[in-house]
Structure 1
Amino acid sequence: MDAALRRRGDPVTGRTATVVVGVTSHQPDVVVRQAASLAAALHARLVCAAVDPGHYVVEEHPDGSVHSLAVDPDAGDLEPADGALFDPDLLSRLHALLDPLDLTWEPRALAGDPTRALAHLAEAIDAAMIVVGTREPGVRGTLREFFSGSVAAHLAHRQHRPVLVVPIAPVGFADDVPWDSTT
């Protein structure tokens, strides 16, 4: 860690705060941008965590990283040596968004249930908070949330860190939303 980063850390402990942001290949850039803005304002490092629910955790490391394997045994031939795969297209997008900023960041590939994986990572690295986006608009996002639940809601109720939810496609109060039973 360089001296400038240490100076910007906590004046008592000397540690730098960490913000964890859940990232997916299909989410709009606004989630990462908001998390980066918050991390910069807090002089914190940003950990961009992508969770693959098609993998299961074989081994968890003290730094929050995991060794994972595909649930589908036929997909095993595609696994990297460390068992964690970060989508190269998503990584490229993150580099384009975050490299120009005065910010320390790193990608982290996780596996399993997104809620548990993000909460476990945040606990392992003692993150100050977790940032996630709202569900994607449309029928597909509504169905996914109906069957699996909201990651943001599960995080808010199942771990002790603050959760910042970034709206992906905000809807005005006068507009209809598919999940609102009052309309």
Structure 2
Amino acid sequence: MSDVAPMPASTHVVMGWNGQLASTAALRVAVDLAQRLDAHVHVVHIGDVDDLPVDPDASDWAQQFRETVEAQAMDARALLEQLGPRWTYHAVHGRPSDVLADLAEQFDALMIVVGAPRGGVHSFIETFAGQSVSHQLTTKHGRPVLLVPEPSSA
């Protein structure tokens, strides 16, 4: 065991998190990068419709919403523990590409890591309409973006 205090992170990586398979793969890549680069990872969960309970009239709707968000935070934190103190979890609201880009700018992040689009009709429409987070990040913001695909089931 060394008596030398750990050095502060040499760089920062911003990572968009939504708990989906591609996002989990992206978080694993961000953690691996952080270990290799001695970086601090900023995991950003931006609340969206996937976090909302199915029944808007449920008497415990707010509780269900909180539980969903807290469960996703716990999943991310479990993957981040191996980084020791070199990570931060941000739960925020806003336009995902702008929130990620602003945080990356604030910390002069080396890159932004996100899960690749899910594919399918919904993803195609988002990309075609210019609403895809990865598309917005790569066309409107000047920071490198690493797209991590969902793991194959083969």
Which of 12, 20, 40 lines up with 1:26 in the alignment?
A: 20
User: How far is the alpha carbon of 1:132 from its aligned partner?
Assistant: 0.8
1:162–1:34 distance in 2 versus 1, CA, 3 Å? same
Provide the TM-score with structure 2 as the length reference: 0.72
Distance in 1 (CA, whole Å) between partners of 2:79 and 2:43 is: 12
Aligned to 1:41: 36
Would you say how many aligned residue pairs link Structure 1 and Structure 2? 134
Please tell me the residue identity of whatever aligns with 2:5: A
Which of 159, 164, 167 is the equivalent residue of 2:141? 159
Going by fraction, where is helix more abundant, 1 or 2? Answer: 2
1:87 partner SS? helix
SS in 2 for 1:131: strand
Normalization by structure 1: what TM-score?
0.62
> For the pair shown, which has the larger CA radius of gyration, 1 or 2?
1
**Which of 85, 88, 96 does residue 70 from structure 2 map onto?**
88
TM-superposed deviation, 1:35: 1.1
- After the TM superposition, list the runs of 4 or more consecutive aligned residues in structure 1 that deviate by more than 6 angstroms: none
RCO higher in structure (CA 8 A, sep ≥6): 2
Whole-Å Cα distance in 1 between the matches of residues 82 and 151 of structure 2? 25
Inter-partner Cα distance in structure 2 for 1:115 and 1:161:
11
Cα distance, 1:92 vs. partner? Answer: 0.9
The alignment yields a C-alpha RMSD, in angstroms, of: 2.8
